[in-house]
Structure 1
């Protein structure tokens, strides 16, 4: 291959003399995408949270989580490239990993960012045809979903991601993007990222239609939904699949079907 120069999502220019052959992925959704692009045999290390495909953790070396990794274990694996994400991984981690090998950092906030990431991976790993195929499928599914949702009434929601302290999705993240796509008005879109809130403050949202309790990163259960009803006035508490609202990459294709089912249940 000719020398390839690409800029990642945080503006770092990377130059490659050959296609990276040994990949460590520190983002579960991006691990799933790499497998979907036919790159499973190139993956040498993953996180303990890389649960899709389900047998991957028994076949690949686990190097830690998304916030803390075993640097010695990573060095031993001799990777050519480490795939990170601005939100999922820490700046300190990325800076340390740079001393080992090339670190490619994504920053996914919009659906368009997702398309770009897939295209970037296609160029980066010489699987352009596979990447284009995924983007075609996702573009078709997105268009289909927009037709499905276009006449749906906008509903106001609060999307919880954590307990003790309670945290919700604000704006400037992929969850908020998918809420908007679903005609869900985010009650906390006036705050950035993932603000902490007091449950008593939910009562000020008299027009709140739904409270979504995500399955990840905090695994909310039915008992949490019951507890929450004391603070929600007339809003209905719903347990939702966090992977569908927060995982980018190839997972988005399944998410559109999940969203259709969710709307039919509401």
Structure 2
């Protein structure tokens, strides 16, 4: 009888212990979830202070009074940056050429680099407009008169892109997301550099357009990508970033790799190889002519490091096997 009572008490005590453990576990789990949720909520709010004084690439000083919640992007590369740092839901207007990521295609269109629809932008009531280059003076004036903040950026290297992502992260209070994007970019860049490290430089020509023949000269994005990818740009001493290039000079310098991209042209590898005078160029003879995606290799946004890898794989395919 006593043993039976003792057993019942023991079972009751064990049940209470299990209940308390489960209860404590639930509380701990709930606390962990709350902490995790708080961490997510705070992950991109690590110190932005408004009003924030900002100076863009052209010396324009702008005061950002509060966290921008409605943004118009006037460049595909800027659009890609904004989406990359988690601001897709704040982008209310983009250009006709903003096609990446897929969600960007559904945003309101406000024209393009050459023809900006100012009325449409004002109608969208953005807190901030980000454009590539200085933009048109009249457009800038009208936007500012409407009380819209305008910032202008023109990154010209991978480092410039990284700095811009960091800057936009601060302006929009998405610092941590910006840092994560930058880390990913630097990892991809460093991977490519390590793969081509020590490889012999390969002579490369990049065709911007055929008639007249134009290329990417010193200081251009393509020039930097070719150099980082283990190539030698045969137009490295040309005058200007995008100069004309003589056919005679092309044949004389004899590139081993011929790169180009499609910009609405009816261009194929065969059409390039069949051009008069091209038959003696090494790149033509050795079937090393490549047509690349212009959106990846020339947009100064997060995917520019993908462009670097793409070019490196064409210049040094053996290094990636």
TM-score range, shorter chain: 0.7 to 0.9
Could you state the TM-score of these two structures normalised by the residue count of structure 1? 0.88
Structure 2: tracts of 5 or more residues without a match: 1-48, 284-288
Change (3 A) 1:98 1:246: farther
SS of the equivalent of 1:126 reads coil
Could you tell me which residue of structure 1 aligns to residue 98 of structure 2?
50
Could you tell me which residue of structure 2 aligns to residue 264 of structure 1?
317
Alignment partners' CA distance in 1, 2:137 and 2:159: 24
Change (3 A) 1:172 1:92: farther
Structure 1: tracts of 5 or more residues without a match: none
SS of the equivalent of 1:158 reads strand
Asked if the contact 1:162–1:217 (Cα under 8 Å) also holds between the matched residues in 2, the reply is no
Alignment partners' CA distance in 2, 1:250 and 1:224: 32
Instruction: Please say if 1:25 is aligned against 2:78.
Output: no
Deviation by residue 1:188-246 (Cα, 9 ceiling, x = unmatched): 2222121123434422324x222211134756323432334733622323212223321
Alignment partners' CA distance in 2, 1:11 and 1:112: 19
Pair member with larger Rg: 2
Change (3 A) 1:121 1:163: same
- Kindly tell me the number of residue pairs found equivalent between the two proteins: 263
Instruction: Please say if 1:238 is aligned against 2:290.
Output: yes
SS of the equivalent of 2:122 reads helix
Alignment partners' CA distance in 2, 1:170 and 1:217: 22
Instruction: Please say if 1:135 is aligned against 2:174.
Output: no
Change (3 A) 1:98 1:165: farther
Superposed CA RMSD in Å reads 2.5
Asked if the contact 2:130–2:150 (Cα under 8 Å) also holds between the matched residues in 1, the reply is yes
Instruction: Please say if 1:170 is aligned against 2:217.
Output: yes
Deviation by residue 1:150-191 (Cα, 9 ceiling, x = unmatched): 122111222112233332111222221111111222222222
Q: CA deviation at 1:103?
A: 1.7
